[in-house]
Amino acid sequence: MPPVPTRVTPHRTRATTPGATARPAPTSPATTLARRALRRGRALTPGLALCAAATLASLGAAHVLPGVSPLVVAIALGVVLANSTGAPAAAGPGLAVAARRLLRVGVVLLGLRLALADVAALGAPLLAVVVVVVAGGVLGTLALGRALRVPAHLAVLVACGFSICGAAAVAAAAGVTDPDDEAEQDTVTAVALVVVFGTLMIGLVPLLAPLLGLRGARAGAWAGASVHEVAQVVAVGGALGGAALTAAVVVKLARVLLLAPVVAALALHRRRAVRAADGPTTTGRRPPVVPLFVAGFLATVVVRSTVPLPDGLLAAAGTAQTALLTAAMFALGCGVRFAALRAVGLRPVVLAVLSTAWVAGLAAVGVLLAT
Task: Report yes or no on 32 lying in a domain.
Answer: no
Which pTM was predicted?
0.77
Residue 280 confidence (pLDDT) above 60: no
pLDDT tens per residue, range 156-172:
999 999 999 888 889 88
| 17 within domain boundaries | no
Question: For 1-27, what is each residue's pLDDT tens digit?
Answer: 555 555 545 545 454 555 555 565 566
As a whole number of angstroms, the distance between CA 179 and CA 167 comes to 16
Inside any domain, residue 12? no
Domain annotation covers residue 129 = yes
DSSP reduced 3-state for 182: coil
Instruction: Tell me the pLDDT band of 338, cut-offs 50, 70 and 90.
Output: confident
Pairwise CA distance, residues 153 & 170, whole Å: 11
Question: 88 lies in which domain range?
Answer: 43-370
Amino acid identity for residue 197 in this structure: F
**40-85 pLDDT per residue, tens:** 788 899 999 999 999 999 999 988 987 677 888 888 899 899 889 8
Q: For residue 11, count CB atoms less than 10 angstroms from its CB and return exposed for 0-12, middle for 13-18, buried for 19 or more.
A: exposed
Give the range among 131-135, 304-308, 337-341, 357-361 with minimum mean pLDDT.
Answer: 337-341
CA within 13 Å, CB half, 317: 20
In a domain, 339, yes or no: yes
28: buried, middle or exposed (CB in 10 Å: 19+, 13-18, 0-12)? exposed
Decide which of 279 and 120 is more confident: 120
Judge residue 246's burial from the number of C-beta atoms within 10 Å of its C-beta, 0-12 exposed, 13-18 middle, 19 or more buried.
Answer: middle
How many domains in the chain? 1
pLDDT of the residue at 155: 94
Amino acid (1-letter code) at residue 100: R
Q: Tens digit of pLDDT for each residue in 104-143?
A: 898 888 888 888 898 899 999 999 999 999 999 999 999 9
60 in a domain, yes or no?
yes
Residue 2 included in any domain = no
Nearest C-alpha neighbor of 344 from the set 176, 179, 137, 158: 158
Residues 174-197 pLDDT 10s: 888 887 767 778 888 898 888 888
